[in-house]
Structure 1
Amino acid sequence: MPKTFYTLQEYYEAVTFKHLNKIGINSHPNAFAFLLGKMYGVIPRSPFSRGHVGDYKSRDEACKTPLDKEQFIGFRYKDDGYVTMMAEDWALGAFLWPNCSGFKKTPMDHYMKPFHLRFDYGKYKSPDLHKIIHKDSCRDYHYDIFEYLGKFLKAYPDKPKFSISWISYLTHDEQNALSSADDYFYHFFNNTKKDFENSYVFFMGDHGLRFGKMRETRTGEIEDNNPFLFLSVPKPLRAALIPQLRKNSKELITHFDIYATLNEIPQPSNPRISKPLLHGNSLFRPLPKPRTCDSLKIPFEYCICRAEKTLLPKNNKIGIPAAKLMIEQINYELYNSNYTRDLCFELTLNESAEIILEDFGGEQILRVYKITFSTHPGDGKFWGIVSYDPKSKEFNIISTKFSRLDSYGSKSKCASTSNLASYCFCMDQSISSPKLS
C-alpha cells in the first residue's frame, strides 16, 4: 500500500513501528490484549520462558465471560465524555467468534452490529441485502466501514470522539487483496487529514495471514507474527511526542503496549475502573528494559526474535513420535469438547507426507524443536513446538495451540462455532461453510 503509507507519513507524520509482535494465534486473544489489556491464556514454562499465568483460568473462561464489566478501552473513553463508535465487517466480530459471550449490552454509542446481523447472520439475514449492496454495486466490505466512520467524523463537532473500525474480510484469506485497496485507503486518509489533525490515529493489524502457501515460507511466518502499526498524534503535540515515539518504534512491542497507550489518552474523573490492569507500557514514554519475548509475555511460538533453526534430515528419529504426541493432544481436545466430540474424525499422522523438523539448538539440556506435520483424514497441515530430554527420551509440548497452515473453512464447517475448528475434519462434509475461519 505505497500510496496509503506515503500519505500517512507525509501528512500525518505517522511513526512506523516495525517490531509489533502478536501475542495469540488469531484475532480473539489479540483483541483481548489491545482492547481489554487482558492476557487470554497461560504461557507454559519452557527453556525459553519462565512461564506466565493468564488473567483467566482457561481460554473457555475468557470466551464465556461477558465483557460488560471488563476494562474495555471504549468504556474508559465513554467515562471521559467521548462519543464512541465501533464497526466491524461481520456480525460475530473478534469478541463473539467462535461461540463467545461478548457484550450483552451495546458497548458503544454507535455500533454497526445491527447492520451486519441483518446483512449476513442467522434468522436476521436478508437474502437480497448482500446482492444489492455488494455484488450488484461492485462494493467491497470495507466500503461500509469507512462510510460509517466518515459520517462519524463529521458528527458531534463540539465533542471528543473515539472510534474502532475493524476490517477482516479484505485480507483474511488472501494477502494480495490489500494492494487492490490502496487507492481507496489513500483517498480516505487524504480526504480526512483535516478531520484527523487533532486526533490520535492507530492504523494497525492484529496478526498476519495465518494459512496458505505464503504462510509456509519464512517470510510468511514473520508476516503472521509481526503485524504493522502506524501511529499518528495530534498536530499540536507532534513536536513533543514524536521523538520518543521514534525511539520506541525500534523496540519490541506488543498489543499490551497499545492498550496502555490508548489507556493514557483519556483522563476520566470518575472511571468505572480506576486502575486498569496493565501488562504493557505507554508508547508515549520510555519503555522499560529488557524487552524480550518472555518479559513481554509473548508465547515462544509467535516470537519474532526467533533463534536460528537447523533443518534436520528427513530420516531423523524425533519427528514421528513428536508429531504423534501433538496429534494425541489434538484428539484429546476434540473428544473433550461438546462442540466437536461427535462431529469430527479422530486424526492420525500421515507418515507418507513430509515431516519437517527444525532444531533451535543452543546449549540447554533440553532440546527444542519445531515440527510441521500432516494428518489423516482431511490432509490438515499443522506445526507445533516441543522440548525433548535426550536422557529420559521424553517430549513435552510447549505450544499452547497448534497452528494450521492450510485453509480449513470448508473442512471444519460442522465445528465453526468452536475454537477447535482448525483441528476438525467433519464427519459430515455436506454442511454449508462459514464465511471466516
Structure 2
Amino acid sequence: MESRFRANHQLFKFLGLCYFLLIFGFVIYRSNISWDTHFKRSTKNILLRLSSSPEPQQYYVKTSKCQIPYVDPFNAEVMKIYKPQTLVKCSNETDLIRTEYNEKIRRHVLHIDDKVALKLLNFTDEEYNCFYQEIEYGNNADNYDNLKARKYFTNGYQVPQHVEGIIVECQMAEDPEVVLQKDAFMFIQHRPLPKELKKPRGPRKPSVIMYGIDSLSRINIRRTMPKVFKYLQGPGWYEMQGYNKVADNSFPNILAILSGYSEGTAKQQVCDTNKAGCLDEMPMIWKYFKNASYLTGYAEDESGSNHFNYLKPGFSKKPMDYYFRPLLTALESEMDVYRLPEHDYMRYCLGRRMANRYIYDYGLQFTQRFVHERPIWGMFWSNHFSHDDPFMPSAMQDIVLGDLLDFHEDGDFEEMIMIFFADHGTRFGRLTWLKEGFLEERLPMMFIYLPPWFRDSYPSFAQALELNQHRLSSNFDLHNTLKHIVEIGGTPDGPNLPRSFDCPTCQSLFYPLPEDRTCSQAGIEEHWCTCQPYRTLKRQAWVEYIADSVIDRMNEYFVHKNLSDLCSNLTLGYIHKAEIKSDPNIEWHEELKEVETAVYRIKFKVEQNSADFQATVVYNNSTQEAEVNVEKISRTNTYKEDSTCIDDKLAKLYCICFSDLKSD
C-alpha cells in the first residue's frame, strides 16, 4: 500500500512537472514572440529615424519682421567656382631652436636640437654658434626701435623675464655668413597676481578671448572649414545666425564692437578717429575690462592693413597690457617675407612661419599663462589668409581647428567665454557675383562659447543666447554683451556701464531679443540689412535713370570732398542687376506694379577702370531724384590700384584717380 502510494505520488509529481513545463514553455514562446515583435518594431523605428534626414534649413532667421534665408554653402552655382586650397608651408626644415615654458620656474627656455644642427652641417663636425637679439620697443606705441646687441646662448638657456620678443640665428663658427637657421619667438611673460585678486571677492569673473578671422561669412565657414564648423556645434557653443554687420569694411564694424560708436558719431561725440591721439581717447572695451582688474592683450597681423593703422593714426600710448604690434613691425622688417604669387598684397610668411601663427600663438600663450589664475580679456585677429581669397580658409582649417583643440586640451574653455567671429563676409570678387553674394558679404560668422560653470550659474543667460541664435543681432549687441560680462564680475551695487551710443535699442545677448526686431532697432542701416527680400527688376525704363542718379550723387561727393581735381567723374558703363525692395508677404508670382517711390538695390559698372558698385537707393520715379548715402555704397571689386592719389579711407572706395586711369 505504502509502496503503491509512493508510486502514485511520484507519477503525480511527474505529471505536475510536465504540466508546469508545458505552461512555462507556452509563456516563454508567447513572450519571445512579443519581444521579437517589439525588438523588430523598435529596430525599424530606430532605422527610420537614422535614415530620415532632417528637413533642410530654410532660414537663418524667420520672425515677424525679419526673414534671412539660409544659403546652401555647396549649391550648384558656387560649386562651379569653389576650389579648396592646399596649405602652403613656409619651411620644410625641422626647428633647430624651439622654446618651452617651464611652469615650475615660470620661465621660457630655449632648446637647441643637436641632431637638426648636424643635418644642417651636412653631418660634419663643424662648430656653430647661436645668438638672439631682443626686439626693443620704441617711443611710439605702434613700432619698435631696433634690435639690441647679440646675446649668445647654449642649450637650456632661460630667457630673461623682461624679454618679449627675439630674433634668433645660428651661424657657422668659422664662416659666420653661413646661416644654419633664422627664427623668431614672442613671449608672454608671467606676471605676479595683484594683491586685490589673491583673495577674490564677489562673483566669479569669466575671462573673454576673441578669436577673429577677417572676411569670413557664416556661409563660407561651412563651405571652407567644415571640421571647424562641426567643432563649433559642440556643447556650450551658440551660433548667432542672425548676426548682421553694420558697416562696410573692417574698421567701422570692429569699432562698433569695441566702442559702441560708429565713426561719424564718434567724431561728433568723442573725437575724429582719423586724427592722432583719438584712438587713445576712445572708450574702448578693453579699458572697462582693465578697470575691472582684467589683464588685457591684443594681436593682429599685417601691420599696414590692421584695424587701427590702415589709413588711421594708431595708438600713441600702449593700449593693452600685452600689445603685439611693435613685435609685428620688427618681424616684418627683420625676417624674410614671402607672399603668395596670386595674392601679393598680404605677407604670408614671416621667416619660417605663417604670419597668423605668431598672432594665434601669442593668444594661446596669453590664455595658457593667465586664464587659470585671473580674469583676462584678449582679442587675436588674422587678415592674411582670408582677406584676399575667400577659399583660402580651406587650407587653414586644420590649423584653426588645432588652435581650438589646444584651448580645449589645456582646460582653458573651463574658464573662459570665447567669441569666434568675423567682421564681415567677402566684400569683392567671385563670391559677390553669385545670387547669394549680398548675404555672403553682410553675414559674418559669430559663435559664442559659454563655459559649464557660467551656464550653471546664469541659466537664464544661456537660455537667452539659445533663443537669440535665430533672431536679428548686430555688432552693437555684442558690444553691450561685453559690457554685461564686465558687470557680472563687478560688485552688486556697482554702476551700470553705458550701452552702445549708436544704438539705444540694442542690448546684451544674455537677454532675449525681441521677436519683432527690425534692422533699424538693431542699428543696421538699410544698405546692410538682410531682413527683407528684394525682387529682380526686368530691364524697365527707369532702371538706368536710377543708376545715373546714383552716379550723379557720387560725382557731387567728389566736389564736396574737394577731390574733383584728383578723381575722375564717373559715367555709367552698364547695369549688372537691379532689384526692388518687397514685402515678405507678397507672393513672388504676383505682377510687380510700378510705384512712385521705392527702395532699390542696384549693381552697376562705371566706364572708368571698370569699377563695380552696389547701392541701396530711395528713388522717386516722378521727380527722378535719388536719395543715397554715397559713403554707404559698396565697392564690389578691388580698388587698391585705382585710388593711389588719396589717403581718405572712405573716398578711396569711389575715387578713380586721373593718375590711375587705364586706357581701354
SS state at 1:100 partner: coil
Could you say which residue in structure 1 is the equivalent of 2:577? 356
Which residue number corresponds to residue 413 of structure 1? 644
Question: 1:172 corresponds to which residue?
Answer: 387
Contact 1:293–1:299 (Cα < 8 Å) also in 2: yes
**Residue 405 (structure 2) aligns with:** 190
Q: Structure 1 residues 165 and 399, CA, compared in 2 at 3 Å: closer, same or farther?
A: same
State the Cα distance separating 1:92 from its structure 2 match. 4.6
Q: Tell me, yes or no, if the aligned pair for 2:270 and 2:282 is still in contact at 8 Å.
A: no
Aligned-pair distance for 1:349?
1.8
Post-superposition Cα deviations, 1:194-223, rounded to whole Å, max 9, x if no partner, equal 122210000011100000121022322101
Residues 409 and 134 of structure 1, relative CA distance in 2, 3 Å threshold: closer
Q: Does 2:252 correspond to 1:26?
A: no
Match of 1:423 in 2: 654
Q: Is the 8 A contact 1:310 1:361 kept in 2?
A: no
**1:46 aligned residue:** none
Deviation of the 1:406 alpha carbon: 1.3
Identity of aligned residues (%): 27
What is the letter of the counterpart of residue 348 of structure 1?
T
Structure 2: where are the runs of 5+ without partners? 1-224, 340-346, 584-592
1:211-263 Cα offsets, whole Å, 9 max, x none, are 01210223221011111111101221224243221111111000111111111
Alignment of 1:82-121 (within 5 A): 82-92=294-304, 95-120=307-332
Contact 1:7 1:190 in 2 (8 A): no
The one-letter code sitting in structure 2 at the alignment partner of 1:86 is Y
CA distance in 1, matches of 2:272, 2:597: 32
Partner of 2:416, secondary structure, is coil
1:378 partner SS: helix
Whether the 8 Å CA contact 1:360–1:368 is kept in 2: the answer is yes
Superposition pairs for residues 64-75 of structure 1, below 5 Å? 64=275, 66-75=278-287
Q: Does 1:146 align with 2:360?
A: yes
CA distance in 1, matches of 2:404, 2:396: 12
Q: TM-score under structure 2 normalisation?
A: 0.57
Which among 471, 474, 486 is matched to residue 254 of structure 1?
474
Bigger RCO (CA 8 Å, 6+ sep): 1
SS at match of 1:327: helix
Change (3 A) 1:310 1:190: same
- Residue 326 of structure 1 pairs with residue 326 of structure 2: no
Q: CA deviation at 1:347?
A: 2.0
Conservation of the 8 A alpha-carbon contact between 2:567 and 2:657: yes
* Equivalent position of 1:9 in the other structure: 233
* Counterpart amino acid of residue 428 in structure 1: S
Q: Is the 8 A contact 1:98 1:416 kept in 2?
A: no
The CA RMSD over aligned residues, in Å, is 3.0
* Aligned partners of 1:141 and 1:169 also within 8 Å: yes
Partner SS, residue 214 of structure 1:
helix
Identify the range of structure 1 (131-140 vs 29-38) with the bigger mean alpha-carbon deviation: 131-140
Does 2:527 align with 1:296?
A: no
More displaced 10-residue stretch of structure 1: 21-30 or 98-107: 98-107
Mapped contact 2:612–2:635 kept (Cα < 8 A): yes
Aligned to 1:206: 423
Q: In 2, distance between residues paired with 1:203 and 1:72?
A: 19
State which drifts further: 133-142 or 365-374. 133-142
SS of corresponding position for 2:428 = coil
SS in structure 2 at match of 1:166: strand
Query: Whole-Å Cα distance in 1 between the matches of residues 376 and 576 of structure 2?
Result: 52
> CA separation of 1:138/1:254 partners in 2, compared to 1, >3 Å: closer, same or farther?
same
Given that 1:68 and 1:104 are in contact with CA atoms closer than 8 Å, whether structure 2 keeps it comes out as: yes
- Which segment is superposed worse, 413-422 or 218-227? 413-422
Amino acid in the other structure paired with 2:657: C
Q: Post-superposition shift, 1:319?
A: 2.6
Question: Match for residue 291 of structure 2?
Answer: 79
Match for residue 37 of structure 1? Answer: 260
- Within-5 A mapping of 1:271-282: 275-278=497-500, 279=503, 280-282=506-508
Rate the CA distance shift 1:411–1:177 in 2: closer, same or farther, 3 A: same
CA distance in 1, matches of 2:455, 2:435: 36
The one-letter amino acid paired with 2:337 is H
Deviation at 1:80, TM superposition (A): 0.8
* 1:81, distance to aligned residue in structure 2 (A): 0.8
In structure 1, distance between residues paired with 2:512 and 2:582: 34
1:38/1:277 contact within 8 Å kept: no
SS in 2 for 1:368: strand
CA contact 2:480–2:499 (8 Å) conserved in 1: no
Moved more, 187-196 or 354-363: 354-363
Alpha-carbon distance between aligned partners in 1 of 2:495 and 2:252, rounded to the nearest angstrom: 21
**Matching residue of 2:615:** 384
Deviates most, 385-394 or 26-35: 385-394
Output one character per residue of 1:53-108: Cα deviation in whole Å (capped at 9) or x when no partner: x4544999454471323221101110011110011112255543543344331110
SS at 1:87's partner residue?
strand
Encode CA deviations 1:302-350: one digit per residue, 9 max, x unaligned.
Answer: 111122313222xx33233322222222233334446x55443232222
Pick which of 213-222 and 193-202 moved more. Answer: 213-222
Residues 40 and 59, structure 1, Cα contact 8 Å, conserved in 2: no
Matched AA of 2:319:
P
2:626 and 2:479 map into 1 onto residues whose CA distance is: 36
For 2:547, the aligned partner's letter is A
Partner AA of 1:150 in structure 2: L
Question: Which stretch of the first structure deviates more once superposed, 62-71 or 222-231?
Answer: 62-71
User: Where does residue 285 of structure 1 map in the other structure?
Assistant: 511
CA–CA distance in structure 2, aligned partners of residues 93 and 79 of structure 1 = 29
Q: Distance in 2 between matches of 1:116 and 1:392?
A: 54
CA contact (8 A) 1:312 1:359 kept: no
TM-score, normalised to structure 1, is 0.84
- Give 3-state SS (helix, strand or coil) of 2:659's partner: coil
Conserved 8 A contact 2:419-2:449: yes
Structure 1 residue matching 2:298: 3-state secondary structure: strand
Deviation for aligned residue 1:296: 1.3
The aligned counterpart of 2:627 is: 396
Cα gap change, 1:310/1:354 in structure 2, threshold over 3 Å: closer, same or farther? closer
Work out the CA distance in 2 between the residues paired with 1:291 and 1:243. 18
Q: Deviation per CA, 1:344-367, whole angstroms, max 9, x where unpaired?
A: 3232222xx345322225697522
| 214-223 vs 29-38, which moves further | 214-223
Specify every segment of 5 or more residues in structure 1 that has no aligned partner in the other structure, as ranges.
Answer: 42-53, 431-437
- Cα 1:119–1:329 change in 2 (3 A) is farther
Could you say what secondary structure the match of 1:406 adopts? coil
Worse-superposed segment, 96-105 or 375-384: 96-105
CA distance in 2, matches of 1:33, 1:396: 25
**Larger Rg computed on CA atoms:** 2
Helix, strand or coil at the partner of 2:401: helix
* Alpha-carbon distance, 1:164 to partner: 0.5
CA distance in 2, matches of 1:118, 1:341: 39
